[in-house]
Structure 1
C-alpha cells in the first residue's frame, strides 16, 4: 500500500494529509475521504485507513489542524478540536478542502473515480464529515462513527446531497441521547436520506482500539468489525443508487 503525504491549502491553513491506495491495482477506484479522531493524522489513523482502503478505494486522511499535526495528549487534542468546533464555517472550509485535495491528487494519478465519492469519520472526524454533508458536498455517502452530531448551523431543506449513516453507542457520554434526538430532528426537517444504528450498551470510540478511556470510551471488537463492514456496504450501495 502506498502512503503519500499530500500538501494542500485549506483557506489560510497549510494542511498535510495522507493519500492511501494500493499502487498494484490498475484503473480508477472510488474515493474515500476519512476524517480522523481528534489526535489528527496519526499513525493509528493512517493504519486504519490502509485497512479501509484495501484494493477498493483511494483514500485521504484529512488534516483538520494544519501541517499534519498530531496531538500528543488528550488535553492537547481537546484544545485543537474545540478550536475547530467553535468556528463552523472554518471547519467546513477545511473538510471541503480535504475532499478537493483527494479529488485532485487521485485524478492526477489516474486512479480516482470522481463519479463515486464517500466520506467517513470517527469521533471529532465524524462531526467533520457531517459538516461536509451540511455544506452540500457532492458525494454519495457520508458515514459518521461515534461522532459529533449537533451543529450551530443545521442543514436546511435541499442542503444535503449525500446519504447519511450514523453509527453510535447508546451509552456514549460524549454525545448523549439528546444529541441524537436533535440530529434526528434536523435530518427530518431538512429532508435528508439518513439512517442511524445505535449499538446497545457501547460507549464512545468503540471502533478505535487505541482510544480507551475508562467510563468514557471503550473499544468493542465486534461492533468495530460490523461498523467497518457497514461503512463499505453503505458507500457501495450509495454508489449504485440502491439506498
Structure 2
C-alpha cells in the first residue's frame, strides 16, 4: 500500500494527513475519509485505514490537531480533544478540510472516483464524522464507530446529506443511552437517513485492537469483525443507492 503524508490548510491549523491506496490497482476507486481516535494520525491509524481501503478505496487519514500531532493518551489526548470540541465551528472546518483534501489529492493523481465519497471514524474520529454530516457536507455515507454522539450544534431539517450508520456498545460510558436517545431524536428531526446498531454489553473502543481499559474501553474481536464487514456493506449500498 502506498502512504503519502500530505499537508493541507484545516481551519486555523495546517493539518498533516495520510493518503493511503493500493498503487498496484488500476482505475479510479471510491473515496474514504478515515478519522482517527484521539491519539491523532498515528501509525496504527494509518494501518487501520490501509486495511479498510484494501483494493476498494482511496483513503485519507484526516488530522484534527494540526501538524499530524500524535500522543500516547490521557491527559494530553483529553486536553487536545477538549480544545477542538470547545470550538464547534472550527472543528467542522477541520473535518471538512480533510474531506476536501481527499477529493483534491485523488483527482490530482487520477486515482479517485470523486462521485462516491464516504467517511468512517473511530471514537473521537466517529464524533468528527458526525460533525461532518451535521455540517451539510456532500458525501454518500458516514459511519461512526463507538464515537461521542453529542453535538454542540444540532442538525436542522435537510442539513444531513449522507446516510449514517452508528455502531455502539450498550455499556459505553463515553456516550450513555441518554446520548443515543438524543441523537436519534436529532436525526429524526433532521429527516436524516440513519441506522444504529448497539452491541449488547460492550464498552467503548470495541473495534480497536490495542485498547484494554477495564470499565471504559475493551477490544472485542467478534464485534470488531462484524463492524468492519458491515460498514463496508453499508458504504457500498450507499454508493449503489440501495439504502
Q: TM-score range by the shorter chain?
A: over 0.9
- In the other structure, the counterpart of 1:220 is 220
Unpaired stretches in structure 2, ≥5 consecutive residues? none
- Alpha-carbon distance in structure 1 between the residues aligned to 2:212 and 2:96: 29
3-state DSSP of counterpart to 1:210: coil
Whether contact under 8 Å (2:30, 2:114) holds in the other structure is yes
3-state DSSP of counterpart to 1:195: strand
3-state DSSP of counterpart to 1:34: strand
Q: CA deviation at 1:73?
A: 2.9
3-state DSSP of counterpart to 2:214: coil
- In the other structure, the counterpart of 2:194 is 194
- In the other structure, the counterpart of 1:142 is 142
3-state DSSP of counterpart to 2:218: coil
- Alpha-carbon distance in structure 1 between the residues aligned to 2:210 and 2:74: 12
3-state DSSP of counterpart to 1:209: coil
3-state DSSP of counterpart to 1:143: strand
Runs of 4+ residues deviating >4 angstroms: none
Q: CA RMSD in A?
A: 0.6
- Alpha-carbon distance in structure 2 between the residues aligned to 1:188 and 1:87: 25
Q: CA deviation at 1:208?
A: 0.3
- In the other structure, the counterpart of 2:115 is 115
TM score, norm. by length of structure 1: 0.99
- Alpha-carbon distance in structure 2 between the residues aligned to 1:216 and 1:22: 35
Q: CA deviation at 1:72?
A: 2.4
TM score, norm. by length of structure 2: 0.99
- In the other structure, the counterpart of 1:177 is 177
- Alpha-carbon distance in structure 1 between the residues aligned to 2:112 and 2:227: 24
Aligned residue runs from structure 1 range 120-139, under 5 A? 120-139=120-139
Unpaired stretches in structure 1, ≥5 consecutive residues? none
Aligned residue runs from structure 1 range 89-104, under 5 A? 89-104=89-104
- In the other structure, the counterpart of 1:84 is 84
Q: How many residues align?
A: 243
- Alpha-carbon distance in structure 2 between the residues aligned to 1:74 and 1:180: 25
- Alpha-carbon distance in structure 1 between the residues aligned to 2:117 and 2:202: 29
Aligned residue runs from structure 1 range 147-166, under 5 A? 147-166=147-166
Q: What CA deviation, in whole Å up to 9, does each residue of 1:34-74 have, x standing for no partner? A: 10000000111111111000000000000000000001232
- In the other structure, the counterpart of 1:9 is 9
